[in-house]
Amino acid sequence: TPIVRLEDYRPSDFLIDHLELDVRLHPTQTRVVATLRMRPNPEGRPDAPLVLDGDELNLKAVSLDGRILTGEEFDASPQSLKIAQAPRQPFTLTIETEIDPTANTKLMGLYRSGGNYCTQCEAEGFRRITYFLDRPDILSVYTTRIEAERSEAPVLLGNGNPVESGPVEGTDRHYAVWHDPHPKPSYLFALVGGSLGRVGKTFTTMSGRKVELAVYVEPGKEDRADYALDALERSMRWDERVFGREYDLDVFNIVAVSDFNMGAMENKGLNIFNDKYVLASPETATDQDYANIEAIIAHEYFHNWSGNRVTCRDWFQLCLKEGLTVFRDQEFSSDERSRPVHRIAEVKTLRARQFLEDASPLAHPVRPSQYREINNFYTATVYEKGAEIVRMLKTIIGDDDFRRGMDLYFDRCDGTAATVEDFLAAFTDVTGRDLTQFARWYEQSGTPRVAVKGHYDEAAQTYRLDFTQNTPPTPGQPTKEAMAIPVALGLVSHDGSPLGAACDRVDARGVFLFDEPADSITFTNVPALPVPSLFRGFSAPVKLSLDLPNEELLVLLRHDTDSFNRWQAAQTVAMRLLAALSTGAQKLDEEIDAFSEALCAFMDSDALADPAFAALVLTLPSEADVAQDIGKDVDPDAIHRARTDMRRRIGKASSQRLHGLYEALAVSGSYSPDAESAGRRSLRNACLDLLAAADRSMGETLAVTQFETASNMTDRLASLSVLTTLPGAAREETLSRFGERYRNEPLVLDKWFALQAAIPEDGTLERVTRLMEHPGFSIANPNRVRSLIGSFAMLNQVQFNRTDGAGYRFLASIVLRADALNPQLAARLLTAFSTWRMMEGTRRRHAEEALQSIAQKPNLSRDVGDIVSRTLD
Ligand code: DPP
Ligand code: ZN
């Protein structure tokens, strides 16, 4: 397959100013008449042919300025429509295609979900609806007429504002016309037709305009949409207050669908969501679900400015909208919840997904320079590392200049398809700073390592920090240059008393900009050996190696003013112990005891003051985190044993306190998903987990009781999750009761699938195979597949990486089955193999065989072909 390269970008030879779409919905024979008002692009090539993109299209007729073209005048295939002699002045092209939404299992273009019609066009799905210049720098004004059988699709929604609607005389059909005045790229097109329930409210914008907000869901589930609607309203208010961004249409609609490849899609004025990120009730959704809904509703809404009003010139610029919008939704969640707790959650995700990707054969820059399949670049690197770059920029230039730069960017680029350079230029222009070196964050892949050594000079009362950085090689980038790394830092005294230390290399915000391969900074006025607190708030996405003994790190847990680094200190110590235990170290008893004692002291002083934070401190790094830390010749069984053993020992050493907290945190009264209540539940459930690790039979009793008395899904699921670590009759019986109770709740069954797929025991592969026969499972539904198969492959370190290779062979077979239906889903599952090279030899050989078995299959999709070849490279 051809490789698309950033350096080959050139403007389109034609423009499409206006598009009129007439879509007559039909389950298998939907007719689309597209009327394109076009003209040659003054910036394009003067004699170029007109080549429109298509994908599995069936052309019925084409006419130019009202004249039907004969077969000699154009060249059509399912993939393209070419007109060699297109006019050199404005013209109107009318194209009629027929498509089959029912047969569309790729879930790209127009398809059916639960009997409804919906669309997904990003990145290149619009070409599955009609022939078009399907690229993000073609901005057009859309008018869409949708027609359908009234009984089948009483609700008809499009982009922009509703214009008119009514019956189609003499038939059982009706229609609606929507007009979107904002020129947009085709990937933001959407329509929905179906039978849907609605909740709504009126929103008044900062300038006093009224906007009708609505969330559409499966009829009967309206009460589960209230939280999403509330999150939307809060997002709109926040974007006005924090970024000065106002909404720009008369309506804003959100539709939940149950078959969706992504989390959600920011189509102009008509966001379409995976229902997992809309529907919530205390009975069916966990605290985490509520938090995810809030974040994703915000994310898609924020795209209205960062993505829609200012879009991307080409798909290499994907981070321009995604990284920036993730940053915006993270800031929103931090403002709505606890900032330090949210920051820790963000960093956990970044490390688990992006650092992993950056260390794998799939590593790529935040702005890639080439791709074979753009769908494979909706990655943690583009999204999460892309967000970290925006955050670092803000850290370096400060809050006020950041806001001024954002304002300039939005004003200057409004209504255009922009690039990363345009984004950075706005900040250069408001600050006068040269951001050339900073821009390397977009170009250079791999996670930089920063090593720091401290030197205390008692006589001179100075403390020097020596920094070095290097970034390991990644595919296509054998050598790396120094990055501009903002290090937010401070010094902490051993007893927590304030230090009067000062350093002229550290700015007023407490940030040292480390932008050389090596550098040193010296603090003066340091009366005693301090403990350095580095990368406060995780000020840069790097791996830090710091030569400090555990007991000094634990000073940070006790005394640092930066919550992130308090948590980080405990994680670092835990990681050292877990990695050492996993790789055969004996005699760590003293160290483990000291760590347990530090946790006990922390529980006494801090747990009830900030339960959400305490829950994070009490949770050890995951098995996958430990594997990543070890990095080579990984033995997942040894890691699992080490982690289980550490949990047991910490649980034993602190069991009284854990019990006390478990009792003290019991909440009565009705459920509320707010961050504070959620925090209490998370700490209580973290205590339960450690208690069960320390004493299985007591853990079982507590968990079963909690399961039976839980008043909400968070507590019920947490108790079930603890039970999955305790093999036996109680577990099996509770699992089957849960499955029975929620047999008609697909999103809850997903949780049940996921828990079982993650059981770290030999029988799990058979269990997963059996669950694939469960009536609630379907290989065609992405949520089901990700819950059952994805959890097995991504969360179950010991069973996916079985020494006999059966886990790998199983995943390979599912990837092939899924690929025939839905290549995007299959390619995403396949990325579970990206860690294969860091496994020990036997597993590595089995993984390579499984990957080869996929690579050798004929007719792989471009999505799967691309991932498998890069993974094996
Ligand atoms: N809908 C996806 C997102 O919002 C892709 N744009 O990230
Ligand atoms: Zn996005």
- Element holding 165 (H helix, E strand): strand 161-167
State the DSSP string of 449-490: EEEEEEEEETTTTEEEEEEEEE---BTTB-S-----EEEEEE
Mean pLDDT for the chain overall: 98
Q: What is the per-residue pLDDT for 611?
A: 98
Nearest alpha carbon, ligand 1 atom 7: 322
Q: How far apart are CA 361 and CA 373, in angstroms?
A: 16
Q: What is the per-residue pLDDT for 547?
A: 87
Nearest alpha carbon, ligand 1 atom 2: 265
- For the residues 523-547, what does the mean pLDDT come to? 97
Residue 295 Cα to ligand 2 middle (Å): 11
Ligand nearest to the CA of 329: 2
Per-residue model confidence as pLDDT tens digits over 554-596: 999 999 999 999 999 999 999 999 999 999 988 899 999 999 9
pLDDT tops 90 at residue 812: yes
Q: What is the per-residue pLDDT for 795?
A: 98
Per-residue model confidence as pLDDT tens digits over 689-720: 999 999 999 999 999 999 999 999 999 999 99
Does residue 336 have its Cβ closer than 6 Å to ligand 1?
A: no
Does residue 380 have its Cβ closer than 6 Å to ligand 1?
A: no
pLDDT tops 90 at residue 10: yes
Distances (CA, A) of 865 to 821, 851, 859: 15, 11, 9
Q: Which amino acid is at 220?
A: G
CB-CB contact of 623 with 640 (8 Å): yes
Ligand nearest to the CA of 322: 2
Regarding pTM above 0.90, the answer is yes
Residue 130 Cα to ligand 1 middle (Å): 22
Q: Which residues contact 567 (CB under 8 A, 6 or more apart)?
A: 340, 344, 613, 616, 617
pLDDT tops 90 at residue 1: no
Assign 669 a pLDDT band (cuts: 50, 70, 90): confident
pLDDT tops 90 at residue 667: no
To test the pocket of ligand 1, the residue of 187, 262, 321 to mutate (highest count of ligand atoms within 8 Å of its CB) is 262
The SS3 call for residue 426 is helix
Ligand nearest to the CA of 328: 2
Nearest alpha carbon, ligand 1 atom 1: 265
Does residue 239 have its Cβ closer than 6 Å to ligand 1?
A: no
Q: Taking each helix axis from N to C terminus, what angle separates 675-694 and 696-709, rounded to the nearest 10 degrees?
A: 150
Q: List, in order of start, the domains of the chain with CATH numbers.
A: 1-195 (2.60.40.1730), 310-443 (1.10.390.10), 449-540 (2.60.40.1840), 550-694 (1.25.50.10), 746-873 (1.25.50.10)
Does residue 266 have its Cβ closer than 6 Å to ligand 1?
A: yes
Does residue 295 have its Cβ closer than 6 Å to ligand 1?
A: no
Q: What is the per-residue pLDDT for 13?
A: 98
Q: Which amino acid is at 719?
A: S
Residue 367 Cα to ligand 2 middle (Å): 15
Does residue 262 have its Cβ closer than 6 Å to ligand 1?
A: yes
pLDDT tops 90 at residue 444: yes
Q: What is the per-residue pLDDT for 668?
A: 80
Q: What is the per-residue pLDDT for 132?
A: 99
Closest-lying ligand 1 atom to the alpha carbon of residue 307: 6
Complex ipTM over 0.90:
yes
To test the pocket of ligand 1, the residue of 184, 270, 303, 311 to mutate (highest count of ligand atoms within 8 Å of its CB) is 303
C-alpha closest to that of 349 among 318, 319, 388: 388
Distances (CA, A) of 840 to 597, 632, 801, 852: 34, 7, 10, 18
Q: How far apart are CA 807 and CA 827, in angstroms?
A: 17
Active site residues: 300
Residue 377 Cα to ligand 1 middle (Å): 12
Does residue 329 have its Cβ closer than 6 Å to ligand 1?
A: no
Does residue 233 have its Cβ closer than 6 Å to ligand 1?
A: no
Q: What is the per-residue pLDDT for 535?
A: 98
- For the residues 167-177, what does the mean pLDDT come to? 98
Ligand nearest to the CA of 325: 2
Assign 58 a pLDDT band (cuts: 50, 70, 90): very high
Closest-lying ligand 1 atom to the alpha carbon of residue 321: 6
Per-residue model confidence as pLDDT tens digits over 215-260: 999 999 999 999 999 999 999 999 999 999 999 999 999 999 999 9
Q: Taking each helix axis from N to C terminus, what angle separates 713-724 and 287-302, rounded to the nearest 10 degrees?
A: 120
Residue 191 Cα to ligand 2 middle (Å): 19
Q: What is the per-residue pLDDT for 473?
A: 98
Residue 688 Cα to ligand 1 middle (Å): 36
| Percent residues over pLDDT 70 in the chain | 100
- For the residues 817-831, what does the mean pLDDT come to? 98
Distances (CA, A) of 225 to 229, 742, 872: 6, 19, 44
Does residue 13 have its Cβ closer than 6 Å to ligand 1?
A: no
Q: What is the per-residue pLDDT for 43?
A: 98
Ligand nearest to the CA of 326: 2
**Which residues are near ligand 2, the ion (C-beta closer than 5 Å)?**
322, 325
pLDDT tops 90 at residue 42: yes
Closest-lying ligand 1 atom to the alpha carbon of residue 296: 4
Per-residue model confidence as pLDDT tens digits over 130-149: 999 999 999 999 999 999 99
Does residue 346 have its Cβ closer than 6 Å to ligand 1?
A: no
Residue 415 Cα to ligand 2 middle (Å): 18
C-alpha closest to that of 662 among 593, 608, 720, 712: 608
Residue 326 Cα to ligand 2 middle (Å): 7
- For the residues 509-534, what does the mean pLDDT come to? 98
Does residue 384 have its Cβ closer than 6 Å to ligand 1?
A: no
Q: What is the per-residue pLDDT for 56?
A: 98
Per-residue model confidence as pLDDT tens digits over 682-697: 999 999 999 999 999 9
Assign 526 a pLDDT band (cuts: 50, 70, 90): very high
The C-alpha torsion from 484 through 375 and 255 to 713, rounded to 10°, is -70
Q: What is the per-residue pLDDT for 586?
A: 82
Q: How far apart are CA 655 and CA 648, in angstroms?
A: 10
